[in-house]
Amino acid sequence: MDANNTLDRRRFFHMVAAAGVATGAMGGAASASPSETAADITRQPAPSFGDDPNTADIVVETLIAWGATCVFGIVGDGINSVIEALRKRRDRIRYVGVRHEEAAAFMASGFAKHTGRLGVCLGTTGPGAIHLMNGLYDAALDGAPVVALTGLTFHDLGGVRFQQSVDTTKLMQDVALYNVEVTGPEHAVIVANRACRAALGERGVAHLTIAKDVQMMRRSADKRSMRNPGARSSSSWVPAISAPPAEQLRAAADILNAGSRVAVLAGQGALPAREEVTRLADLLGAPVAKSLLGKAVLADDSPFTTGGIGDLGTAPSSWAMKACDTVLILGSTMPWEEYYPTPGQARGVQVDIKPDRIGLRTPVEVGLVGDVKATLTGLLPLLRRKADRSFLSEAQRRMGEWQNLPERVEATARSPLRPQMVIRALSDLLADDAVISLDCGANTHFAARCLRLRANQRLTGTGMLASMAPGLPFAIAAQLAYPGRQSGAVVGDGGFAMLMAELTTAVANDLPVKIVLLKNNSLAEVMFEQREIGNPNYGCGLAPIDFVAFAKACGADGYRCESPDQVRGRSRRRCDRLARRWSKRSSTPRKSLLSPTNYRPDRQKAEYRSSRRPSSERW
């Protein structure tokens, strides 16, 4: 075959491909006409690009099309074109400059956790990309949809030991479920959509890395390959609200109906299903234990909950799991396996959107792969109301007795301050729709038990990664996501100090976050853990920092509390002042850091250790 014939054949296939695209477009238009299911159809548009935009413009425009409202990062010469694309669109997407890329990734993760929407972070070539990793792992392990953008050195200088020449695709290989180097504008048109869809649809991190010169490339200068006739992909997404088939629901219902002592473990996957979980608990007479990230599934005053579970949990939750004959796990992979029913003790049913999570922590007879809310909607009509309420009644009795001790501790007025008292004061003063962020450390234990979450409050923290430092970044992200709501965080001096420069980020962006910092000049949780295994404390002390002075130096308000009356008095005055100024809209409320100082970690040792024992009735 000669060259002309080959060329003619290639043109023929291109013509066929173009005809196929046109036919598909006509079919799509026809399907958009009114039908019986029109209410269930969502159009899947794609942004339209001319010849002028460069690669960076296309990526940023695609993020906007997918609903991204904030990008967290630090400028750098490896991402200057992306920064310029953001500047040109600053009326539609907000760039939030931070002090460390780790905080940027935590903010993206926290934004995604608090909202369920796309979080976005940005890091320059080499060190900038490396600094993102801890926050990205937090998002990946907790199923938060995040898109990470990073720069690469020039496209033809890879592999020659050029400055900052880190292979960021390899760097992100483990943490990202979608991980692509963008080769040009035409490629960006396709893969930017794919990255957003992967992050939201598969619930994790998607990563796009772009060489400096590729970021600047105009679409008119790019040349598509012979197999790319102008491929496009959609820039919108509809969550898959899947439910198991009817026969699996019946099998699960048979197990739950047969049980006489049913216990429920609810995690973050059950957050959208509060009404369904409440109805199920009532039907089955089942106590509901909550993982940390599932704390908001039921309000803490619900008659059906026994509070948290695991190392951050309550004795009644541990009792319920060890006394049940049937366990139902809803959207949770709570990691502490010793708090699940003993193998062989109870029959099990598990609901999770991820098939690989079924049976991960404890054996189950029926695994239902699907959305928790949709699955429970199908399951509830198959359940019979249990006449015997004794198991639930006993759990409620134990919960009432258990709460007496923390309430006595929280009411104790003494100096040095008890952290339980501080957290309870904060809990009482928070707005009914407050958004709460947690750090990781001994402070998390106190917050998990002493915060009495109300029906319209939200809470998140670092789950499976259990990293120190995200409390402040999460609170900043929450305030950006919910500008009309109160955003607060509970942190310790160890975790806060790691990224405390981000207080200037809150100040610079006029974000009225409230930070309660428990200061004891030590890494208290590690102190307790060292003692638990019989080791003397070593390496846990921290040089003291005057955090109040630091807050004021950053332009925020800072308050030191050393006595119980100062805690409630200063917290109430500050919250009231913020509420008045917010309602009048006369000025932006200032950022505030409340530092209850010098609580004694050694005084909390017995309480902390007993709370970690699943069989203990002490707090």
In tens, the pLDDT along 121-158 reads 999 999 999 999 999 999 999 999 999 999 998 887 77
CA–CA distance, 472 with 475 (Å, rounded to integer)? 5
Share of the chain above pLDDT 70, in %: 84
In tens, the pLDDT along 284-302 reads 999 999 999 999 999 999 9
Task: List all residues 6 or more positions away from 615 whose beta carbon is below 8 Å from its beta carbon.
Answer: 318, 322
Structure tokens of 421?
């008292």
CA–CA distance, 380 with 403 (Å, rounded to integer)? 31
- Looking at residue 524, what is its pLDDT? 94
Share of the chain above pLDDT 90, in %: 74
pLDDT mean over 460-469: 96
Is a pLDDT exceeding 80 seen at residue 192? yes
Cβ neighbours, 10 Å, residue 373: 21
Cis? peptide before 343, omega within 30° of 0 = no
Is a pLDDT exceeding 70 seen at residue 245? yes
Is a pLDDT exceeding 80 seen at residue 23? no
| pLDDT tier, 253 (very low <50, low <70, confident <90, very high otherwise) | very high
- Looking at residue 14, what is its pLDDT? 39
Write the DSSP symbol of residue 120. E
Count each helix (H run) and each strand (E run) in the chain, helices first. Answer: 23, 18
- Looking at residue 233, what is its pLDDT? 77
Task: List all residues 6 or more positions away from 89 whose beta carbon is below 8 Å from its beta carbon.
Answer: 60, 61, 64
Question: Is 468 in contact with 108 (CB distance < 8 Å)?
Answer: no
Is a pLDDT exceeding 50 seen at residue 97? yes
The residue whose two tokens read 């199908």 is 378
- Looking at residue 575, what is its pLDDT? 53
Question: Is 471 in contact with 439 (CB distance < 8 Å)?
Answer: yes
- Looking at residue 354, what is its pLDDT? 93
Please state, rounded to an integer, the average pLDDT across all residues of the chain: 87
Helices 419-429 and 442-450: crossing angle in degrees, nearest 10, is 50
Write the DSSP symbol of residue 341. P
Complete domains list, the chain, with CATH? 47-221 (3.40.50.970), 246-398 (3.40.50.1220), 411-611 (3.40.50.970)
In tens, the pLDDT along 380-409 reads 999 999 999 999 999 999 999 999 988 988
pLDDT mean over 213-242: 84
Is a pLDDT exceeding 60 seen at residue 459? yes
More confident residue, 422 or 609: 422
Pair type for strands 262-266 and 205-211: unpaired
| pLDDT tier, 338 (very low <50, low <70, confident <90, very high otherwise) | very high
pLDDT mean over 23-40: 35
CA–CA distance, 358 with 329 (Å, rounded to integer)? 9
- Looking at residue 572, what is its pLDDT? 58
In tens, the pLDDT along 582-598 reads 333 333 345 677 776 55
Query: Phi, psi (5° rounding) for residue 506?
Result: -65, -45
Is a pLDDT exceeding 90 seen at residue 606? no
- Looking at residue 559, what is its pLDDT? 92
More confident residue, 285 or 160: 285
More confident residue, 238 or 562: 562
Angle at CA of residue 156, ends 57 and 230, nearest 5°: 45
Helices 246-258 and 372-379: crossing angle in degrees, nearest 10, is 70
CA–CA distance, 604 with 619 (Å, rounded to integer)? 11
- Looking at residue 598, what is its pLDDT? 54
| pLDDT tier, 159 (very low <50, low <70, confident <90, very high otherwise) | confident
In sequence order, what are the beta bridge partners of 210? 151, 182
The edge-to-edge listing of strands for the beta sheet with 366-369 is 305-308, 288-290, 262-266, 326-330, 347-352, 366-369
- Say what the alpha-carbon torsion angle 213, 167, 65, 24 is, to the nearest 10 degrees: 90
Question: Is 93 in contact with 118 (CB distance < 8 Å)?
Answer: no
Query: pTM for the whole thing?
Result: 0.87
